[in-house]
Structure 1
Amino acid sequence: MRNKLSMQLALTAKMCGCSISRYTRSTVVENPFKSVRRLLRGWKGKLCLLLVTLLLLLLTFVWCAYYFAPYRLAFDIKVATFNWTILNKETCSQQNQPLLLIIIRSSPDRWDRRKAIRATWGDPCTYDRLRVHYMFLVGTYAGWNKVTVNQLLQLEFSLYRDIAQYDYADGYTRLSLKQIAAFTIAIKYCSNFPFVFMTDEDFLVHIPNLVSYIETIKTDDYATFIGGYLYNDSSPVRQRLNRYYVPAEVYPNGTYPWFTAGGATLLATQLIERLLVELPKLPTRLHLEDVTTGIILQKLQIKPRNIEKICILWGSCQDIPFEKRIAVHGYETTADLKRDWNKLNLPSTC
């Protein structure tokens, strides 16, 4: 019995990391506190190792957050040249009365969202197809299954012909590059459309309401028009771990110029041409493409306009009936998008 107890204690001590040469019944019974101290000594060693490991992980995270911050990974727009891996160059030549081109910034692997948009607000039976055209804009997928994703994109394009893909990696830190790609398409292939609406795949866009708004814009304003959800008192974020972080050496001013949220911006094509000319002249680079546009607009002495019916922030359009809104942000799931789209119950023109 004594030997069995000693073996059990020795095994327990070994698991706890203690160095114990011999345990007897007398040491366990007569010196219980000494045994506990030895056990605790083993756990302290393990706890110390755990704390050191957590500290190293924390330091690694901070290092990565600093050296791989979005502003550091922003693509140098001065050397941006595009090769299109997927593009229907005749995509904008089929409208007899072109008015509005909608460019939807999408992730290469989010075919579920593209499918949902085609079935909801992108359904051509709910707007005038002779005046409005849309396309999805994606970069190259860089994940581990990139070959499969890019092959599926090719298949998707062969079915719908509504995707444009350029040959740079997609991602949040390269939104400025995606913006230039969108501007390039608008000028090079779709200049017959006087207006371009830039949006993201997590929006619901009421195209008839958007067209109605465009029809109120005066012809004299076509050369300078840009509008959306307006930020007129926004400051740079200086916290390093924030995705919007911009250090003072990149942008030293305390406030940004006026700019519209990049996820839902309406621009005149004539203005896009001027923006493309000015973009390579910027002395610094930002991963925040909407702020970049605001900096250029300030240089051109053009003020962006606020479009009240474009709803970006939660609660920003509570006073506007849902059916009167132009664009609504924040659809994390396709089910939510379809649910709200069905509420509109728009008449079909097909």
Structure 2
Amino acid sequence: MFMNCRRVKKCQFLRLISMCCVMSLLMVCWDHVDHHVVSHVKSYSYRYLINSYDFINKSLSVSPEEAARFGSYPYLLNNKDICKDQDVLLLLFVKSSPGNLKRRQAIRSTWGNESYISHELGVVVKVVFAMGAHPDVLSESVIQKKLHRDLHKEHKNHGDLVQQDFLDTFHNLTVKLLLQFRWTHENCAHAHFLMTADDDVFIHLPNLVRYLQDLRRQNVQNLWVGHVHRGAPPVRRRDSKYYMPFDMYQWSSYPDYTAGAGYVVSGDVAAKIYQASLSLNASMYIDDVFMGICAIAAGVSPQEHVYFSGEGKTPYHPCIFEKMITSHGHEDDIRYLWKAATDPQVEGISSGLVGKLYCTAVKLTLLCKPYFTNTYSCTAAFT
């Protein structure tokens, strides 16, 4: 009996110590817990119970004159004839920065090689690099002057740069979005599809072209496809890159939107988004979210495609390459991945019963992990 009492007291003591440890951990990490738990509960409640995003558009509506000041920057570099007299299947805008010459060269020599696309895939895809001015553009340093000369030389050689006179910074990404839709409206409105992507994104053009050709044959409209974020909460931590103050956006949830790393819209949607942007306050500097706000005004909803990556890099394997469309986070390995992903041995690797079972097992192993990678979802293993 004496031993049982000692055991009980010891057990209670251990529970007390454990509870104190848990409470201490919660107190230390409360901000983290609050952001990742409480904010998501609020967000999903708003997204699925209230879902009154029409209020957002009303609050952000401005006069055409006020809206114009967000996207009316003069062009520093331009080529209005990129799409002229051509049946353009896809106008592909790559969001770049003035100093990212190596990335642009890697893209031009791999998935963005228009000659390859034309001769091997039999379609017209126009690749255009969108950018603002270097943040230190006012500096008179030798480096800045060299960068200016290099950009003009690059544009003279390739004719694929579109640059406006705004500072190329994170907080001007929405301005860069407006640039893309405005330029499309003015110079390439006849393109069947418009895509926007970061310059560290790998795009499997053969797979994307096949996908878009099928959609074109079906005369698909109202298309906005990519890696969809639903019910994402605004980040309220001031130390975050994505901090969103209440006075700019007071709601608990963002509208549905696709990851800005890479998504595709049909030509009719591009026109609708441009028109919607002419009456909205574009001070919302997270361009993905602003796209979602424009889409509400345009009456368009994003559609999930399991082979469009989010912010994560996709696993390297032939079973993945066979159906991949985009992968994010490729600054130095674009050329290697292009060679590996377009190797003739990749095609048909999942053909036949054995091939399908093999690739399903591989993709289950690579994609269905118990932690979040923000790349292809587990459902991609079954497609």
TM-score, normalised with respect to structure 2: 0.65
Point out the more displaced range, 270-279 or 259-268: 270-279
The one of 41, 66, 72 aligned to 1:81: 72
The one of 180, 201, 213 aligned to 1:182: 180
CA deviations 1:83-124 (Å, max 9, x no partner) are: 2221111111153x3211111111101111111111111123
CA distance in 1, matches of 2:241, 2:200: 18
The one of 63, 73, 84 aligned to 1:93: 84
Alignment of structure 1 residues 1-350 onto 2, 5 Å = 78-79=68-69, 80-93=71-84, 95=86, 97-128=87-118, 130-143=123-136, 144=139, 145-217=143-215, 219=218, 221-222=220-221, 224-283=222-281, 285-314=283-312, 321-333=320-332, 336-345=333-342
Q: CA deviation at 1:316?
A: 6.6
Contact 1:311 1:317 in 2 (8 A): no
The amino acid across from 2:337 in the alignment is: D
Q: Which runs of 5+ in 2 are unaligned?
A: 1-65, 345-383
Secondary structure of 1:151 counterpart: helix
Q: CA deviation at 1:272?
A: 1.8
CA distance in 2, matches of 1:317, 1:121: 18
Bigger-Rg structure (1/2) = 1
Secondary structure of 2:261 counterpart: strand
CA deviations 1:188-218 (Å, max 9, x no partner) are: 1111211111011001111121111112326
CA distance in 2, matches of 1:246, 1:133: 35
Q: CA deviation at 1:125?
A: 4.1
The amino acid across from 2:105 in the alignment is: K
CA distance in 2, matches of 1:284, 1:103: 19
The amino acid across from 1:83 in the alignment is: P
Secondary structure of 1:314 counterpart: coil
Secondary structure of 1:128 counterpart: helix
Residue 8 of structure 1 is matched in structure 2 by none
TM-score, normalised with respect to structure 1: 0.71
